[in-house]
């Protein structure tokens, strides 16, 4: 992998986002602010959803969307608005892989298909504008995540 991936530590986000094909989130602990920045710059975000029985989110998308939906604290209109960011004439660009194999397959699909990567990046930018990089949307997502944690 060393010849195909470069781990650079702290980075200038606009510069690195312009060079990135995708943002592969870590596991079992994903990222928050860096993922939101990558999304805002139109970099496809490849995350891994936590297991249904998990009691804490594995990363930004898990905390903002996946876990609140599973717990029933994501209102129908909020879920519809999120999903709308990813809808295209070809179908939804949103995937929720729950294991390493599915996460890697998603990343490989994006690497192999520049058009899919471009469309996915645009979808993540729409999502970021709506929620992840939008202070009000992020605050609402964090409120939902906190409500879910307090219920459990």
* Domain hosting residue 44, numbered range: 22-151
* pLDDT tens digits along 42-94: 999 998 887 777 777 777 777 778 888 887 878 888 889 888 999 988 899 98
**Helix crossing, 114-127 with 33-40: angle to 10°?**
110
Average pLDDT over residues 143-152: 62
pLDDT for the residue 42: 92
Residue 92 lies in a domain: yes
Q: For the segment 103-115, what is each residue's pLDDT rounded down to a tens digit?
A: 999 999 999 999 9
Q: What is the pLDDT of residues 126-141, one digit of tens each?
A: 988 887 655 666 666 6
Rounded to the nearest angstrom, the gap between the alpha carbon of residue 30 and the centroid of all alpha carbons in its chain is 10
- Domain count for the chain: 1
**143 located within any domain:** yes
Give a yes or no: residue 13 inside a domain: no
Here the tokens at position 37 are 């920045």
| Global model pTM greater than 0.75 | yes
Read off φ and ψ for residue 70, nearest 5 degrees.
Answer: -60, -35
Q: Residue 117 has what pLDDT? A: 95
Helix axis angle, 76-86 to 114-127, nearest 10°: 150
11, part of any domain: no
Residue 3 maps to a domain: no
- For residue 75, which phi and psi values (nearest 5 degrees)? -65, 150
Q: Is residue 106 part of a domain?
A: yes
Residue 21, preceding peptide bond in cis (omega within 30° of 0): no
146 has a pLDDT exceeding 60: yes
Minimal CA–CA distance to 30: which of 147, 145, 150? 145
Do strands 45-46 and 87-88 pair parallel, antiparallel, or not at all (unpaired)? unpaired
Is 8 a member of any domain?
A: no
- What pLDDT does 73 receive? 78
Which tops the pLDDT comparison, 7 or 70?
A: 70
């Amino acid at each position: 992998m060393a010849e195909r991936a470069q781990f650079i530590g702290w980075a200038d986000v606009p510069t690195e986002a312009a060079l990135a094909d995708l943002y592969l989130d870590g596991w079992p602990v994903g990222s928050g602010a860096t993922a939101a920045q990558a999304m805002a710059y139109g970099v496809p975000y490849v995350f891994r959803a936590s297991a249904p029985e998990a009691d804490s989110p594995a990363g930004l998308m898990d905390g903002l969307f996946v876990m609140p939906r599973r717990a029933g604290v994501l209102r129908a209109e909020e879920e519809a608005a999120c999903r709308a960011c990813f809808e295209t004439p070809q179908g939804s660009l949103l995937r929720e892989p729950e294991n390493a194999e599915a996460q890697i397959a998603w990343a490989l699909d994006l690497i192999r298909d520049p058009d899919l990567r471009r469309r996915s990046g645009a979808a993540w930018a729409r999502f970021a504008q709506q929620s992840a990089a939008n202070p009000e949307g992020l605050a609402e997502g964090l409120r939902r995540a906190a409500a879910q944690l307090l219920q459990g």
